[in-house]
Amino acid sequence: WCSSICPLLPVQRIYGQTPFATVPNSHCQPCVGCTKNCYDFNPATAYLADMYDEDKRFAAYRKIFVGLFPGFILAFYTIPEPPVVSLWTMYGLFGLFSLVSLGFFFLLETFVKVSANKVTVLFGALALNTYYWFNAPVIVAVLTGAQHMGLIWGLRVAVFELTLFWIYRTWRKEKYFVREFITLEARRDALQDSLILNPAPAASAHAGAASTSKAPPASGEPMVRIAPDGVEIKVKPNRTLLEVIESQNLPIEAGCRMGVCGADPICVREGMENLSPVGSDERGTLERLGLGPNTRMACMARVRGACTIALKPEEPEMYQSSIITGYQYDRAVQKVVIVGNGIAGVTAADHVRRRHPHCEIHLIGRERHHLYNRMGITRLIYGRSAMQGLYLMPEKWYDDVGITCWLNTRVTGIDAATQQIQLGTGETLAYDRLILTTGSESFVPPIANVDLPGSFVLRTAEDAMAIRAYVQEQTAKQAVVAGGGLLGLEAAYGLHKLGLQVTVLERSTALLT
């Protein structure tokens, strides 16, 4: 969701990195929309994911931009400026060049029997080379102070050769992406919607790739069965289990949607082989959660065939970290202290335990709660279930993997010379290695009387619950939220659902800027 509210969003849209079409996130109420194929989380495949997405708007934005760009660059360097021509003539020629370029793009996409992504790559290469063809003399002149034709042509040739390598690498990446992530039916849809006249070769190519894939292609619409209720859902291939579950309004947490936060683990009872393979991010999260081998992150598991799932993962009798065998750890390190028990702190503790199975690990947090999903704290303002469903790791996990937790504990000092930390309780804790994962704090502007009762920040679960308690104790009727960003609007919505009349103050001219 960071791309949806980033102040650089216009720049990201120019470069085709953030699509306009968005998907909902159940943690943000009101929903402001998340990028579906998020460039920030997965830049290596975001572009390809857009090109092959079943919602054709994602690919359309990519195509239109790259189709216009070569003509726009050519117009920029060749069309005369006023007063040689009128202003309207200049802009008209800009539009004409761009439209001709776009028309040529769709002409090639229609009649050339390659994927739309390959045509897109070729037009991107054309735009790049056109730019450096005209700009090479300027670059050489700035660097050398003269027009050296040898250097000018050298720069043009170098850009052309690098472009050829980029085209090769990009086409090769597309083959891997199609083999690993795109089902036969989804690929046929993408080819047909790209107006490729003869999609048969793509099907035969997939057949060869499928023989090396662990998940067989789906035929027709696969069935997802929800246990134990027996609800059966027909879904389009390549849908994530999270999308399937949310489409039926079934209860499930939804966090980052990239398999990183660990908010949506589910149990796969049958048909694990009919789901997309586990990627590196999801694998790391599953190892951290320490759940059973039949666990998948719902947001990452794409349906390729029939399967049966349960919304609650099976908890093992004893949680165990996935020890990295053969890792040469420093046996002199006997005690590791980690300050901060958020996602960074818990992840650090998990990785230390995987690499050093025998050292003491102390995890110190000033909050009274174990690791929880911070993206969902707004519901603590208006919801009646408190922390239920927000914890990302069960309390038993810390004991089973040998992590000593210090909750509701503050660190007041660090003595690097003696390798000790001082705690707010008066105790000291020695360490061999110290890791600081203290996170960030809310900025409170220097406003008069901002510290009076009834003034809050919203950063932690305690902040949210304190707001809820104060509203009830004071029978509050009105609230003012300073800040029209994502968290500010979430807080405003939470207070609104609690029955308050809410005013949002934002210093800029628009919300979410």
Taking only the tens place, the pLDDT of each residue in 229-273 is 778 888 888 888 888 888 887 888 767 777 777 788 889 988 898
Query: pLDDT tens across 58-113, in order?
Result: 788 778 888 888 999 999 999 988 888 899 999 999 999 999 999 999 999 888 88
Q: Which of 5-9, 229-233, 496-500 has the lowest mean pLDDT?
A: 5-9
Q: How confident is the model at residue 180 (pLDDT cuts 50, 70, 90)?
A: low
Centroid of chain to Cα 329:
32
Q: Which residues pair with 405 in a beta bridge?
A: 363
**28 or 281, which is more confident:** 281
Question: Are the C-beta atoms of residues 440 and 368 closer than 8 Å to each other?
Answer: no
What integer pLDDT is reported at residue 195 of this predicted model?
35
Tokens coding 231? 């609800």
Q: Which of 218-227, 328-337, 394-403, 474-483 has the lowest mean pLDDT?
A: 218-227
Domains, in order of start, for the chain: 44-210 (no CATH), 223-310 (3.10.20.30), 335-436 (3.50.50.60), 449-513 (3.50.50.60)
pLDDT for 423 equals 93
> 364-373: per-residue pLDDT in tens?
999 999 988 8
Q: What's the rounded Cα separation, in Å, for the pair 150 and 131?
A: 18
| C-alpha distances out from residue 374 to 400, 418, 437, 482, Å | 24, 35, 15, 20
- CA separation (Å) from 83 to 75, 79, 87, 458? 17, 12, 8, 57
The reported pLDDT for the residue numbered 43 is 63
pLDDT at 374 over 70: yes
Q: What is the pLDDT of residue 450?
A: 87
- Mean pLDDT value across the chain: 80
Average pLDDT estimate for 180-203: 44
Query: What is this structure's pTM?
Result: 0.50
pLDDT over 90 (residue 435):
yes
Judge residue 462's burial from the number of C-beta atoms within 10 Å of its C-beta, 0-12 exposed, 13-18 middle, 19 or more buried.
middle
Of the two residues 273 and 317, the one the predictor is more confident about is 273
Residue 385: count other Cβ atoms within 10 Å of its Cβ: 9
Q: How confident is the model at residue 182 (pLDDT cuts 50, 70, 90)?
A: low
pLDDT band at 215 (very low <50, low <70, confident <90, very high): very low
**Looking at the predicted structure, is the pLDDT value of residue 466 above 50?**
yes
pLDDT at 338: 94
